[in-house]
Amino acid sequence: MTVDPSTGTAYVTSSRDDLLSMIDADGGISAIEVGRAPAGVAVDPSTHTAYVTSLGEGAVSVIDIGSRTVTATIPVGAVPQGIEVDPSTHTLYVANVEDGSVSVIDTGTRTVSATVEVGDRPGGMGVDPSTHALYVATTGPGGAVSVIDPETLTVTDTITAGRSPHDVAVDPSTRTAFVPNADDGSVSVIDLDTLTVTDTLQVGKQPYGATVDPSARTVYVTNLDDRSVSMIDTETRTVTDTVPVGSGPQGVAVDPTSHTAYVVNLDDSVSVIER
Q: Would you list the domain boundaries of the chain?
A: 118-273
Homologous superfamily of 118-273: YVTN repeat-like/Quinoprotein amine dehydrogenase (2.130.10.10)
Q: How confident is the model at residue 25 (pLDDT cuts 50, 70, 90)?
A: confident
| Number of neighbouring beta carbons within 10 Å of residue 221 | 29
Average pLDDT of every residue of the chain: 97
Asked whether the whole model's pTM tops 0.85, one would answer yes
Cβ–Cβ under 8 Å, residues 155 and 198: no
* Three-state secondary-structure class, residue 132: coil
Q: How confident is the model at residue 275 (pLDDT cuts 50, 70, 90)?
A: confident
Confidence class of residue 110 from pLDDT cuts 50, 70 and 90? Answer: very high
**Which helix (H) or strand (E) is 197 found in, with range?**
strand 196-202
Q: Dihedral of the CA atoms 85, 87, 88, 93 (nearest 10)? A: 10
> Residue 140 pLDDT more than 90?
no
pLDDT of 27 above 90: no
Percent of the chain with pLDDT over 90: 96
The predicted model gives 140-161 an average pLDDT of 95
- The predicted structure's pLDDT at residue 47: 97
pLDDT tens profile 69-88: 999 999 999 999 999 999 99
